[in-house]
Chains A and B, each alone.
Chain A
Amino acid sequence: MKSLLLAATLGCMTCLAHAAQPANPTPPAVAAKVALRGEPYGVRVAEMRIVRKNDILTVQADLENTVRANRTVFYRFRWLDDMGNQVGDGESWKQMGLYGLQLQTVKSVAPNSSATDLKLEMNVEQK
């Protein structure tokens, strides 16, 4: 009862964001590679494709905005070797806008051939 009341008092935007999240979350296999800080606000990582090209690991991730409001995503890939150690200096953070209901693909390439695994670090802003 109490939570309902609280939800009602909050803005419509947040209702939408929270309502959309459980309906269509990031698939568990992909979620294992995603380090999300805070709320996703309706943004999910729909798919992640990891390919070794010419001895170098490459990745593509589809970020999908499941709500109608625009979102801003901050992300970067962190590359790991077989021991789980970080490879290289770490990428710079990137800012990307996602329009309502848009799907955008982000790409990255490992800095050298010792990278065997990765993590997508991200957080979502509501504007």
Chain B
Amino acid sequence: MLTRSHLLVMLLALSSGLTACSSSTPPVASPVLRFDREVNYGDDKAVELVTNEFGSTDLQMIAEKMTGSLLETGIFQGRPTVTISTVKNKTSEYIDTTNIMNSIQTTLVKSGKVRFTRSINEMQAGVDELQRQNQSGLYKQHSTAKIGKMTAAKYSLEGELTSIVKDNGSTKDVFYKFTLKMFDVEEGTIEWQDEKQIRKTSKR
């Protein structure tokens, strides 16, 4: 009996080498709670090729290209103020274009080269807070934020996303183009502009 089990262990060790350890002892349990359907966290930076609709990788690639291009031009000398204007979605897909701008803004803010002011969409919350501080009568006089002290943006970012879709039933080709422009608000001039092109092809 003993010799036989010994032989078995030796055989196992020989056949599978190092992995024999894991096969002979039970694996340790990971700290997860899981049901039938397998769910896993994935690499948030992985190339997403599930469908050829606008996806996470496209968003990341656009944001990276735009921030890289903005940072290397050196237009942000002296930490100017910038605001986000509109991003037109001219595709036929429901794409949250504000999300692309959010990614760009995050990276630019983290670079420390630029200051952002409230965008039009973020204005209401700011106005509400100012009114609460100044008109509710709840706060100490000197501690309230003064109305009329906001810094206006020197530059504004305007973008648009377009797409060309060709589909013949078996092959679908989608071409995306994201264009971003930075205007000098006072002068109305374009101070910087870049675009990112993406082609995605899928076969059915």
Contact = CB atoms under 8 A, between A and B. Distances in A.
Contacts of A93: 43, 45-47, 57
Interface string B59-86: 0110010011101111001000000000
A113 B114 CA distance: 13
Interface stretch (A4-12, A32-40, A41-49, A52-60): A52-60
Contacts of B56: 92
B67 A112 contact: no
A112 B111 contact: yes
B45 A76 contact: yes
A110 B45 CA distance: 17
Interface string A85-116: 00010111111000000000001111111000
B55 to A, nearest CB: 11
Contact of A92 (B60, B67, B72, B73): B60
Contacts of A113: 111-113
Contacts of A107: 68
A72 to B, nearest CB: 10
A56 B67 contact: no
Interface string B74-116: 1001000000000000000000000000000001001111000
Given A92-B45, A94-B61, A111 B111 contact: yes
Given A111-B107, A112-B111, A90 B72 contact: no
B68 A109 contact: yes
B46 A109 contact: no
Interface residues of A, number: 21
A109 B47 contact: no
A108 B107 CA distance: 14
Nearest to B68: A109
A109 B112 contact: no
A81 to B, nearest CB: 14
B71 A92 contact: no
A94 B47 contact: yes
Given A54-B71, A56-B71, A111 B47 contact: no
A112 B110 contact: yes
A89 to B, nearest CB: 8
Contacts of B110: 88, 111-112
Interface of B: 43, 45-47, 49, 56-57, 60-61, 64, 67-69, 71-74, 77, 107, 110-113
19 contacts: A53-B72, A54-B71, A54-B72, A58-B72, A88-B107, A92-B64, A93-B57, A94-B61, A95-B47, A95-B49, A108-B64, A108-B68, A109-B67, A109-B71, A111-B67, A112-B71, A112-B110, A112-B111, A112-B112
5 residue pairs, one from A and one from B, having the closest CB atoms: A54-B74, A109-B68, A92-B60, A112-B111, A92-B45
